[in-house]
Structure 1
Amino acid sequence: MDAEANHQPALPQPLQLVVLGAGRVAQHLVLALAAAGHTVVGIWSRTPASAAAVAASVRGARVLTSLQTLPPADVYLLALPDAVVPDVLAAAIFPVGALVAHTAGALPLAVFAEHPTIRGGVFYPLQTFSAGREITWATVPLCLEAADDPGLATLYQLAGSLSQDVRELTSAQRLQLHLAAVWASNFPNHLLGISHALLADAGLPWELLHPLIQETVAKALSQPPFTAQTGPAVRHDAGTLQRHTQALAEHPQWQSLYLQLTASIQQTAQQPTQNNRGSL
């Protein structure tokens, strides 16, 4: 499938939606869908209190207490952890022919194969969701897949009402995208957490790194990141690398990670002695 952005216009009519799940993805998604004019008719969660909190955030949504008595809807969205989706699919009673779409990045469309009475789909928002953070949905890539063309058309309608970047991806493409997203978001966030902790240990403010972080991200977005690599690893600065390693003696896990990342940088650099030589 072509992974280029599809700017197919959304159809004007609002949709009736049921959302299964009440975590961070569901919380953000429900608000965005309601703001786009759709009606969220019901919220289900394994934790009823969480479903009640999400339902209270939009008008007209009610808490669903059973997976066996789901109300009619145009789309049933499964905003659930990947491992929970098969269990919910096995337990829920959907109307025959219902369009049911999960929101997971790494879960294949084939998860619906054992449920021939429903039409499977994928509605994956490529974004990180946290409490208290506002999402600009117009720029969030929405990655779609469906078992049939009518289902795909409905998902395009739903996605187009939220985002200007809607793409149809295969399960294999979406898995690779999700893997890349972990490297681009989750792992860097962990590394930033280590930086934050090291500064705190030294009694230094986190704000000292803000300009550096901003410039690093800006460079990575403007050119292939490997070509922008700087630092003691790419320079093969043995003295600095040794001092850094010794400074991490009280954090053996971070020390091991430092050495692994250093080795990866040096192996990746095509011309390690000729590469960019920034001051860091």
Structure 2
Amino acid sequence: MEISFIGAGNLAWHLAPALENAGHHINEVYSRQLQHSRRLVSNLYDARTHSLLNFADSPSKLFILAVPDDALEDVCSRLVLPENARIVHTSGTRALQDLTRWMAVYSDVPVRTGVFYALQTFTKEQTFLDFDDIPLCIEAAEKEFEDELVSIGQELSDIVYLITSDERKLLHMAAVFACNFTNHLLAIAHDLTVANGLEFDLLRPLIRETLRKGLVADNPATVQTGPARRNDLSTIEAHLSLLTAKPQLAEIYDVMTTSIQRMYI
């Protein structure tokens, strides 16, 4: 399929090459920051940068909105698409109905709308990710377009699901707990060790084993350990006393501890 990307951020950096490797052709990449689109295009076969949101003469059939959620409506309001265009957003939280409504309001031509959400954490300019085991969550306003998106998804990944907007929003929230919050806690652990003259590397074997156990368990709650799980109040108080000068971290520690304790009451 002939495809254009609107947005050249973390997701586009990985998804565009993956689509090309699956046999699709990326025609154009638009970004508000030209250097970003140029950098992405340099990793594609013969795509070109597109400096405007007017795609009226584009040969593409599918347009992929890979922009931040807060920018979606503004981009849609300025977007000009060709006849018979199909457009998807890649957001974990924005409803399909939002995109459908924006296209109905702003587009001069009928547009088929859908969602193509990859459930993974992406970082630009890192090694391109293999999409084989990345869950792809599909939704479309029309069955024919839904089937097309499923077909594209199956060319990339072994895990393709039809998921509603409400389900996707809940899944995205769970992903924030599993990914973003987990990484933030690792960053806190890094800062605590380094600030006190210890090496973060000492924690790496523990982190690896913790993640391994959590992933192989049917329910990670069954492999929970630590002072909160044991209700070891003296250890908890000792830890909190170490955080007296860091009230924000003490608050996080207390909230996490209370949450673990309540889970096992």
Give yes or no for TM over 0.5.
yes
Query: Which of 119, 135, 159 is equivalent to 2:112?
Result: 119
Matches within 5 A, 1:252-263: 252-263=247-258
Query: Which of 202, 213, 216 is equivalent to 2:207?
Result: 213
More helix by share: 2
Residue aligning to 1:241? 236
Query: Which of 24, 28, 41 is equivalent to 2:27?
Result: 41
Distance, in Å, in 1 between the alignment partners of 2:144 and 2:229 is 51
Are residues 1:144 and 2:131 paired? no
Tell me the TM-score normalized by structure 2: 0.93
Residue aligning to 2:92? 105
Report sequence identity in percent.
Answer: 38
* Equivalent residues, number: 256
One-letter amino acid matched to 1:137: F
Deviates further, 162-171 or 214-223: 214-223
Measure how far apart 1:90 and its partner are. Answer: 1.0
Residue aligning to 1:60? 46
Measure how far apart 1:211 and its partner are. Answer: 1.4
Distance, in Å, in 2 between the alignment partners of 1:242 and 1:198 is 17
Are residues 1:177 and 2:171 paired? yes
Partner secondary structure for residue 68 of structure 1: coil
Give the aligned CA root-mean-square deviation in angstroms.
Answer: 1.2
Distance, in Å, in 1 between the alignment partners of 2:159 and 2:33 is 33
Residue aligning to 2:107? none
Residue aligning to 1:228? 223
Distance, in Å, in 2 between the alignment partners of 1:227 and 1:196 is 26
Partner secondary structure for residue 180 of structure 2: helix
Instruction: Give CA-to-partner distance per residue, 1:162-220, whole Å, 9 cap, x none.
Output: 11111110001101110110010000000000001111012111111111111111111
Measure how far apart 1:119 and its partner are. Answer: 1.0
Distance, in Å, in 2 between the alignment partners of 1:69 and 1:140 is 30
Distance, in Å, in 2 between the alignment partners of 1:59 and 1:97 is 25
Are residues 1:162 and 2:188 paired? no
Contact 2:28 2:49 survives alignment (8 Å): yes
Contact 2:41 2:47 survives alignment (8 Å): yes
Partner secondary structure for residue 261 of structure 2: helix
Residue ranges of structure 1 left out of the alignment (5+ in a row): 1-14, 271-280
Partner secondary structure for residue 103 of structure 2: coil
Measure how far apart 1:136 and its partner are. Answer: 2.0
Residue aligning to 1:275? none
Partner secondary structure for residue 101 of structure 1: strand
Measure how far apart 1:97 and its partner are. Answer: 3.1
Residue aligning to 1:4? none
Distance, in Å, in 2 between the alignment partners of 1:269 and 1:84 is 42
Partner secondary structure for residue 113 of structure 1: helix
Partner secondary structure for residue 88 of structure 2: strand
Tell me the TM-score normalized by structure 1: 0.88
Instruction: Give CA-to-partner distance per residue, 1:73-94, whole Å, 9 cap, x none.
Output: 1210001101111111111011
Measure how far apart 1:55 and its partner are. Answer: 1.2
Residue ranges of structure 2 left out of the alignment (5+ in a row): 105-109
Partner secondary structure for residue 106 of structure 1: coil
Partner secondary structure for residue 57 of structure 1: coil
Instruction: Give CA-to-partner distance per residue, 1:30-55, whole Å, 9 cap, x none.
Output: 11111222110000011111111111
Moved over 4 A (4+): none
